[in-house]
Structure 1
Amino acid sequence: MPHPQDNLANDSNTSDTSMEAVDGTEAENIDSFPSIEEQLRQAELQSAEHHDAWLRAKAETENMRRRAQEDISKAAKFAIERFANELLVVKDSLEQTLAVEGATPEAIREGVDLTLKNLSKAFEKSGLQEISPIGEKFDPHKHQAISAIPSDQPANTVVQVFQKGYTLEGRVLRPALVAVAQSA
């Protein structure tokens, strides 16, 4: 029969072995964790990478802003280019009309009519439209009344146009100079 002291001895051996196993595991775990210096070095490397990425993003943003400003500047500078190209056709037409030697009044009129058609096309292509307000109710945003005349039309109706008005893409470029019907 085993002696109780033997059991204690066996228990203490078991206990020492388990302590060694625990101590050995802790030692392995401690060895598997990087040292504080290694962790600091990795954090500094990661910080440097993030700083570099931030600097690159900042530089890209500045480049995009600069390119956008250049594009806006070019757009403002050359916005009239399309209209100018259309006006060259009008100028050519006028020069051809004037270049004809001994032209009759009818030929000159025909040349001027052609020039006017070319100018109207240029206006249309560029979004420039005439304001033709005869018979319309007076609108101070599109018309400028310079006189009121007696008329059988309702009061404040445009009855005469002295100078045509124009809009550019829906915005009034020049109001029409008009006479309106006077209230009776």
Structure 2
Amino acid sequence: MSDQNKTPHTEEQLNPEVVAEEVAFANEAEQVEAAVEVDPIEALRAENAALKDRTLRTMAEMENLRRRTEKEVKDAKVYAIAGFARDMLVVNDNLGRAIDALPDEATQNDENLKALVEGVELVEREMLNHLEKHGVKRLSPEGEKFNPHFHQAMFEVPNTEVPNNTVMNVVQAGYVIGERVLRPAMVGISKGGPKIVPVTDKNAGPGSTLDKEA
């Protein structure tokens, strides 16, 4: 057998359709590359869009930073005296205890002692007034629903006439400064009364409640 029969020509092995597709693909790639090279406007538009996006992101980050800084400065002003105010509350409590320790008869029969007590009461009121000017507020939760964020339950009072977990007594007043609790109010809460549960009636207004016997 001759060599001509053993090895066919390369051209005869190629598929004409495959060759045509490869040529078309190569031409298309060259056209795209040429279009990119000769069309700087599109390149500028793409660059401009990227710069615009980057600018908007930077502006948003700066705005968030400005807001955080403003809040931190505001909080620093409001809460700067928190430690001092907490210490002054202890002093105020001691003034109140000193007044409560004196029986009413003692002040009625002794004018000097009565004047002293009035002076201590004045100091107590003035101290609270000045603390209030700096954002410290007194909590008066008697009759309110117990709130663990602002109240500390010290004991329970059996009472079936008021809703369960109602503040019945205030052992020690609580105070807040801004949105923070300086000291929770120490309270006694009711037990055994009706529980407050959300209303399921679709005709009831928002926030309505129903009494449910415990």
Q: TM-score range by the shorter chain?
A: 0.3 to 0.5
Of Structure 1 and Structure 2, which has the larger fraction of its residues in helix?
1
What TM-score, normalized by structure 1, do the two folds share? Answer: 0.44
Q: Larger radius of gyration, structure 1 or 2?
A: 1
User: So what's the TM-score if we normalise by structure 2?
Assistant: 0.39
